[in-house]
Structure 1
Amino acid sequence: MCSRLMISGDGHSSWFHSVVVALLHSRLETLERCWTVTGEPGDKVSEAEFHLYTTEGEKTDFTMKFKDVFDGKGKADVYDIKKAWWIAGLQLAALQLEGYTGLRKDGFTWSEPDKAFKILTNEDTEIYNPRGANKEKELWALMTQSGNTPIVFSIKFEDGSFYWYAALSATVNEKREGEEDWEKGELEIYAGNRRQTEVHPFAKWADEIESVVHWKLD
Structure 2
Amino acid sequence: MTDKIRTPWTSEQVQALNDFQQRGAMHPFTCGREHPGQQSPTLDATHAGWICPDPMCTYEQDWAHAFMADPAAWPKPWQQLTAPSLEIQPYPQTAPNACRTTQHCAAHGWCRRCNPAFAATMSKVNIAVQRSGVGEEHWGPLYEAIGKALRDDQPAPAPAGPGLRARKRAEWAALTPDEQAARLAELDQDEPGPVAGETTKEQPDA
- TM-score bracket, normalised by the shorter chain, equals under 0.3
Task: Identify, as 1 or 2, the structure richer in helix.
Answer: 2
TM-score (norm 2): 0.24
| Higher RCO structure (Cα 8 Å, ≥6 apart) | 1
Higher relative strand content: 1
Q: Is the radius of gyration larger for structure 1 or structure 2?
A: 2
